[in-house]
Structures are given as C-alpha cells and as structure tokens.
C-alpha cells in the first residue's frame, strides 16, 4: 500500500516542482523516488527472508533485509548530496516560485507520506529493513513540511529564498537517518554485539546460574536485525555425567533465551578449563 501510494504521487510532485519552479518540491520528489526504490527493495528483501534455511544457507536469508537496509541508507546519502548541491546553487538565485502551487502539492505529499509512514511504523519494530523504509518515509514527510513552509512563505511574503533553505534542512534530516541506518546495519554485517546486549552481563548470568565454575570464549552476534546468536564455553562444577551435563546445558540455553532474547545459543560444556592456545588456534584457522 505504501509503495503504491508513493509511486502514484511521485509523478505529481516532480511535475509540480517543474511547473512551479520549486527546488523544495523537486528535492522532495527526488526523495520520493528513493522512497519508491526503498520500498521496492524492502518488499523484495521480505520475500527473501521468508525462505526457509537450506543446505546452502543454513541460517536462511535473514540478512537480506540488513543488506537491503544498507542499500537504502546509501541511496539516502546520494539523494541528500544531490539536494544539497542544487540548493546551494539556488541560494544565490532562487528564481521564480509559484507559492500557491507549491503549497497545494506539498500538502498532498505530506498526507501521502504520513499515511505511508504510519502503515510501516506499526510493524517495523526492530526490523532494520522496515525501519529503513520507515525512515525514508518519515524524512520525506519532513521534507514535505519544509516544502509546505516554503510555499506558504512565497505565497505570503514573496520570500523565494526560503525554498532552497528548506531544501538544505531536508538534507540534514536525510543525512541523520542515513548515518543511523549505516551504523546499525554495519554492526550486524560486521557481527558486532547487538545493541542493548551486554556481554559481561551474559557471562555473569551464566556464572550465577549454579553448577558453573567458569565461562570463557563468549561471542555474541546478530543473525539479522532481530535474532541474536551466541557461542560460549561453560565449565561445569564437579564431573557430571553426559546426561546431566546435557540437561544443564538445556537449562542454560533456556535462561539465555528468556533473559536476553538469544534464540541461537551454542554452549560447549567442559568439566575442566580448556587449553586457550588450542582454542584460539582453531578460531584463527576457522577464520582463515
């Protein structure tokens, strides 16, 4: 629904910018182009992430939505650079702007953006793909506000200089959302510790669980924007049987899922501390 609404209004906004001489409308129209691209990418990525795991992709294609979000962030950066370049040139010579036409088109664009952003915002949650599309629409809505203000300023006071200034404000808003998206997607792709997860707190919780003498070589990363994974070595107290050790491992995994939302936990159970040199050597070999 959001894709259809933005795709239909895109041509109205670009045509209005050309007819009424408004850079703010053209900038908002260009941003709406990026919205259509972003929503198309988001829709395609959602199709990929719904595919089940396979022998080739054992975790499925969950990171397709992270890649889509990163592509959308780069599109946002490109759009903001184009708007800024055009706006600086118009500061010296704002040209003729039809305030009434700009006001009408910008108002209609604002309604489309708010409605579309509301639709996505209801279900975005922690999904980076939907968040990327949501930020596209939100920043575009703010761009429509800027264009609306520019139209009213021209209509009421003949202040054509407000049009390029409004475009620069749109650029700042776009840059902020793009940088935020790049930061979040890069954390996932570089397998950083997920936002809101404290590695030291996880190890403390494992140690405090009872029957555990030590925890080491703990790694936490994101499978996608919503699923965290963990691997760790846990040294159990005493010398439990294989059956008892397995039960204890299941209890620890259940605790990690309940307290930290980690649904994929690989725990190597030990009855004595392992050889760090051997483990580190195996990890280096695995990475190479």
Q: How far is CA 107 from CA 33, 41, 71, 147, 152, in A?
A: 18, 27, 29, 9, 11
In this predicted structure, the answer to whether residue 278 has a pLDDT above a threshold of 90 is no
Q: Give the C-alpha separation, 49 to 122, whole Å.
A: 19
Question: Does 265 or 123 have the greater pLDDT score?
Answer: 265
In this predicted structure, the answer to whether residue 218 has a pLDDT above a threshold of 80 is yes
Q: What is the pTM of this model?
A: 0.65
Average pLDDT over residues 203-222: 90
User: What's residue 220's pLDDT?
Assistant: 92
Percent of the chain having pLDDT more than 90? 11
Tally Cβ neighbours within 10 Å of residue 18. Answer: 12
User: What's residue 288's pLDDT?
Assistant: 58
Q: Residue 211: name the closest of 171, 173, 241 by CA.
A: 241
pLDDT bin (cut points 50, 70, 90) of residue 127 is low
- Starting at the edge strand found earlier in the chain, the sheet holding 228-236 runs 212-222, 228-236, 262-270
Does domain 199-287 correspond to CATH entry 3.30.70.1350? yes
Q: Give the C-alpha separation, 78 to 261, whole Å.
A: 36
User: What's residue 255's pLDDT?
Assistant: 92
Q: Give the C-alpha separation, 190 to 187, whole Å.
A: 5
Tally Cβ neighbours within 10 Å of residue 221. Answer: 17
Provide the β-strand partners of residue 229. 221, 264
Exposure of 143 by Cβ count < 10 A (0-12 exposed, 13-18 middle, 19+ buried)?
buried
pLDDT bin (cut points 50, 70, 90) of residue 281 is low
Give pLDDT tens digits for 233-259: 999 988 888 898 899 999 999 999 998
Give pLDDT tens digits for 72-121: 788 878 877 877 887 787 777 766 667 777 788 888 878 887 888 887 77
User: What's residue 21's pLDDT?
Assistant: 76
Three-state DSSP at 160 gives coil
Non-local CB neighbours of 130 within 8 Å, separated by 6+ positions? 42, 65, 120, 123, 124
In this predicted structure, the answer to whether residue 230 has a pLDDT above a threshold of 90 is yes
Looking at every residue in the chain, the average pLDDT score rounds to: 79
Give pLDDT tens digits for 181-194: 788 888 888 888 88
Enter the DSSP assignment of 261. Answer: -
Q: Are 84 and 168 in contact (CB under 8 A)?
A: yes
**What is the distance in angstroms between the CA of the first residue and the CA of the last residue of the chain?**
46
Domain 2-189 homologous superfamily, CATH: Cation efflux protein transmembrane domain (1.20.1510.10)
Instruction: Using the Cα atoms of residue 64, residue 70, residue 71 and residue 72 in order, give the sign of their dihedral.
Output: positive
Q: Write out the DSSP string of 35-69.
A: HHHHHHHHHHHHHHHTSPP-SSSTT-STTHHHHHH
Enter the DSSP assignment of 123. Answer: T
User: What's residue 162's pLDDT?
Assistant: 79
| Residues found in the chain | 288
Exposure of 235 by Cβ count < 10 A (0-12 exposed, 13-18 middle, 19+ buried)?
middle
Q: Give the C-alpha separation, 103 to 212, whole Å.
A: 67
Q: Give the C-alpha separation, 33 to 82, whole Å.
A: 13
Per-domain residue ranges of the chain: 2-189, 199-287
Q: Are 122 and 36 in contact (CB under 8 A)?
A: no
């Amino acid at each position: 629904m959001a894709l259809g609404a933005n795709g239909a209004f895109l041509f109205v906004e670009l045509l209005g910018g050309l007819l009424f001489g408004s850079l703010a409308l053209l900038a908002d129209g260009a941003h709406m182009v990026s919205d259509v691209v972003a929503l198309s990418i988001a829709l395609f990525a959602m199709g990929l992430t719904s595919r089940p795991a396979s022998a080739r992709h054992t975790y499925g294609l969950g990171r397709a939505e992270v890649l889509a979000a990163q592509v959308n962030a780069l599109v946002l950066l490109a759009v903001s650079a184009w708007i800024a370049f055009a706006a600086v040139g118009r500061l010296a010579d704002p040209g003729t702007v039809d305030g009434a036409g700009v006001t009408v088109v910008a108002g209609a664009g604002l309604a489309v953006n708010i409605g579309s952003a509301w639709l996505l915002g209801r279900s975005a949650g922690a999904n980076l793909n939907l968040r990327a599309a949501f930020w596209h629409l939100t920043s575009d809505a703010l761009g429509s506000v800027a264009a609306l203000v520019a139209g009213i300023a021209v209509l009421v006071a003949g202040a054509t200089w407000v049009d390029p200034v409004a475009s620069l404000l749109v650029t700042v808003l776009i840059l902020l959302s793009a940088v935020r998206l790049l930061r979040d997607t890069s954390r996932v792709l570089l397998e950083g510790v997920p936002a809101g997860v404290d590695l030291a707190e996880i190890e403390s919780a494992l140690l405090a669980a009872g029957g555990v003498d030590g925890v080491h070589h703990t790694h936490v990363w994101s499978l996608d924007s919503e699923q965290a994974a963990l691997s760790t070595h846990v040294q159990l107290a005493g010398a439990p049987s294989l059956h008892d050790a397995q039960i204890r491992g299941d209890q620890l995994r259940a605790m990690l899922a309940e307290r930290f939302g980690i649904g994929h936990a690989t725990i190597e159970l030990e009855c004595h501390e392992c050889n760090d040199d051997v483990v580190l050597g195996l990890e280096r070999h695995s990475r190479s």
